[in-house]
Structure 1
Amino acid sequence: MADLWSIGRGKNSFSAKGVIASDLTHKVTVTNASAKISYADKVRKPEQPVIEYSELPEPGFRGGYPTIKLPKKAYERGLEYCKFSLIGRLDMQGITMEEMRARVAQQWALSESFIITPLAKGFLHLKFENGEDYQKVWTRGPWKFGNELLQLQKWEKNFRPGNQKRTNALVWIRLPNLPMECWDKEALLSIGRGVGHPMKVDDTSINKQYGYYANILVDVDLTKPIPDQILVSTEDYEFWQDVVVTKIQKFCNHCKIVGHSVTECRKLKGVLDKGKDPIVDNTPEDQTEKATKNTKRNKGKK
């Protein structure tokens, strides 16, 4: 059974853990804080149209397999349910589901309740009650939970988690030999923006306790090369800043997904076994310590 919950605001909030979507009958609004609402009231099933077995579509056959065309009204009800929907993705590393629920309610503070349905491969279906709440979540990000960035995309018809490819990962980058006047948190995050989406700066760097290099956690797209240098400009001068990647997750350039390397790719092995040419681009598989190679001359100017 899917772990699904609906979240409201303040005293009007209602959590329905472990209830399938069809069992959520209505939004519970608590007008009296001392009033008790039974579990049966929370999950009472809504009135559903009576569906006769004889009215269900007759299956056809194609290539020896049964085929079914969904009833038009049933499909339209499904589209209506998804009208104000987004697709999110979180690895849920370093944060529990309960912690995420609490932070979602606090950060978003929407006008009406909404439903989050966990899907496969870390994806989430986010269903909102109105366009205003939908736009607020979509446009006012990024939203961070723990050390993770909630990756959002607009819901589309026929979205299936099993067909999606994960190409983003969190990596720590080091900025060695960085001028001390550039160690301000906003300045460090700005430099990190040149690599990907900066998530945080470690406390050691913020407090300037260790001056050999600054550490920044960045969300990067591994289908694109990570730059080994960034041209940084200030009001007085500009300079080339080296970028060192300390550790990176395995990424397969054949499958275009995070989780395994090309040498571990079962799909690639199957292609080679069949005598076909593999589809592998020239994107470096392991960019660790890339900044230590091919270092350009620093072009700092005062």
Structure 2
Amino acid sequence: MEESSHGPNGAESTAEEADLLRRSTKKYKRHRDEKENEESVKENEKSDMVMEDLGVDLTGVGNQKQSVNNIPAAISFKAALTNDQAHLYEGSDDEEELEDEIPEPVVVKPWPSLDVSKDELQKLRRPWRKALIVKLLGRTVGYRVLRQRVEQAWKLRGNFQMVDLEEGYYLVRFATKEDYHHVLFYGPWTILGHYLTAQKWKPDFVPSREGISSTMVWVRFPQLPIEYFDKDFLLRLGNCIGKAVKVDVPSSKSERGKFARVCVQLDLTQSLISKVTVRSLDYCVEYEGLHSICFECGKYGHQKDTCPNLVVSKPQNTDMGGTSGGTSEPAAGSKR
């Protein structure tokens, strides 16, 4: 008769099998944990290399690694070119706080002085951060006329508010971000034959203390040979006058040949360029919309008869009481 598996020999065999199974399971778990640790170390090293390549400083971080989400996003080419990112449209409280951290000098005056806290200052400035300051260059028009004209020129999608200031300045607030950028970047705008300058609103703007030093204007190059009606070449030619912004579409496509037309950011504090030379040939430069140019100093803003550089000679004083046929004594300080 065969022995039952529940006998002494069967019990020893079962115990050995159980012990072998327990050791095998323990060895498998230890091998699995070691493999997971190796993979974890490799993953951490790979993460550190990525963070270092992205320019993140890991010094003193220890086991707590910085998240990739903390890395600042790269700005677009347009934002770098125009220096105008989306958050600047509504304004930034952080930037304003940094500016206001510099204490103003305390000056004792004989009249009352009112202090404004940072919180109150931010509250007062917030509604105007997405506004533009505009002014018609060289001409003064009324509020209703200007508003009607800019509505026709801008063709905005939303509504806008226009506030009249002193010295011919106006403050314009827009309902949409797109309209704000459209007016600021897609000029120059011409109203009644004069340029409408546009700039971002800035705090503590006082019209009587401001002056327009630059604006975008259309520049013509009459009688320029047709082979030079190339976009890249015309931009180079515009840079000889100021900072070239764009080329007129008919000029870039050679559709009109009487003159080439380039939009240029012009420094109004400098003398205007009257001619350019291309391959030893001189070509005149014409400025559209600038009606007050001095032909003495070449600057914008006054005429030749009021030019500060023009020296007006004063007639010498004569002695009407002298003898007939005699000469009078020269005036004091004059030379013979």
Same fold (TM over 0.5): no
Using structure 2 for the length normalisation, give the TM-score: 0.41
Bigger RCO of structures 1 and 2 (CA < 8 A, at least 6 apart): 1
Using structure 1 for the length normalisation, give the TM-score: 0.44
Q: Which has more helix, going by share of residues?
A: 2
